[in-house]
Amino acid sequence: MEYSSWINTSLDLNIKPLRLLDDAPPPKKEAESDFMELAGRKVSVKEETGALMEELNRVSAENRKLTQMLTVVCENYNALRSQVMEYMSKNADKSSDLSPSRKRKSESISNNDANNYGAMVANGTSESSSTDDDSSKNPREEKITAKISRMYVRTEPSDTSLIVKDGYQWRKYGQKVTRDNPCPRAYFKCSFAPTCPVKKKVQRSVEDQSVLVATYEGEHNHPSPSQADQETSGSTRCVTTLGSVPCSTALNSSGPTITLDLTKSKSSNEIKTPPRPKVESPEFQRFLVEQMASSLTKDPSFTSALAAAISGRIQLHQSPTEKWSK
């Protein structure tokens, strides 16, 4: 699985339309007339306006929601980062003073990043968490070299099951209601290979119950049974691989507007925008790309958000994530 499919600039791309919608209504008529001309078709402008307005409202609401999410993610990221920094610097100074309750400590810390919707966080366990040196105190810990990774999966609100389709076969062996989350946590073991030590915990996020948090412990000692299936399966769940989010483009006087349609899958993209103009034309595509690039790079919000996204990506890449970057 490619890392690029997990980390995506989609949030950044929403900045432009959102701002447009919030600050001043876009000169739609112009855009539409351009659009019509490009399409070379005579379509009722009224009908188109109505449809576009509807879509615009919907996308605007979607974008607002996403922006709020992004804010929360950034806040939590910063908080977590400062916590980690503080913790690491503390441990660098006095490595002997370690909390004995590492098991539950790590859990409580990791809960903070539960807002990274659509992202997967893979991190090493004790060996990467600067508490290595107490392995000398507790020899049992040395055996636990299992990798712990985390995956966030958005589900449909109506979906109450705790099943995360990740291509492996899992057997549920327990369920428990934990203190910090009213939603039960389900425990799974990899059942594809009898010797496979991998375990998985799945629990709904406290903040957003439509998000499942799957925590993987250990590494599979066998290949994925359905790697190919996984990519093409029509699962109702959408593992948030944002790399393939469908988008639509439109032209207005101030340049092209990129609108990511995050609510529709590729197959169900039913916002029936008017028949596309000759987008296939290489000249038009080049023009679009140039306009998009220039408008994005001029936008300070975009550049700052991009910087934040990149810094987050760098952080992620610093931890060993071989498993998920395959």
Partner DNA sequence: CGCATTTGACCTGCGC
Partner DNA sequence: GCGCAGGTCAAATGCG
Give the binding site for DNA (CB under 7 A). Answer: 99-105, 107, 170-176, 178-180, 185-187, 191, 199, 201
Q: What does the DSSP assignment read for 269-323?
A: ----PPPP-STTSHHHHHHHHHHHHHHHHH-HHHHHHHHHHHHHHHHHHHS--TT
Whether 67 contacts 75, CB under 8 Å: no
Instruction: Give the three-state DSSP class for 194.
Output: coil
Nearest approach, Cβ of 157 to DNA (angstroms)? 19
Nearest approach, Cβ of 134 to DNA (angstroms)? 10
Nearer to DNA, 160 or 253 (CB): 160
Nearer to DNA, 100 or 157 (CB): 100
- Measured CA angle at 9 (ends 320, 317), to 5 deg: 10
Nearer to DNA, 73 or 190 (CB): 190
Nearer to DNA, 199 or 237 (CB): 199
Nearest alpha carbon to residue 260 among 87, 13, 30? 13
- Residue 216, classified by CB atoms within 10 Å of its CB into exposed (0-12), middle (13-18) or buried (19+), is buried
The count of other CB atoms within 10 Å of the CB of residue 231 is 10
Q: Roughly what angle, to the nearest 10 degrees, separates helices 45-93 and 15-23?
A: 120
Nearer to DNA, 194 or 300 (CB): 194
Nearest approach, Cβ of 8 to DNA (angstroms)? 30
Nearest approach, Cβ of 99 to DNA (angstroms)? 6
Nearest approach, Cβ of 1 to DNA (angstroms)? 23
Nearer to DNA, 55 or 107 (CB): 107
**Type of residue found at 34:** D
Nearer to DNA, 36 or 109 (CB): 109
3-state helix, strand, coil in the chain (%, to 5): 45, 15, 35
Nearest approach, Cβ of 283 to DNA (angstroms)? 54
**Type of residue found at 189:** K
Instruction: Give the three-state DSSP class for 256.
Output: strand
Nearest approach, Cβ of 167 to DNA (angstroms)? 15
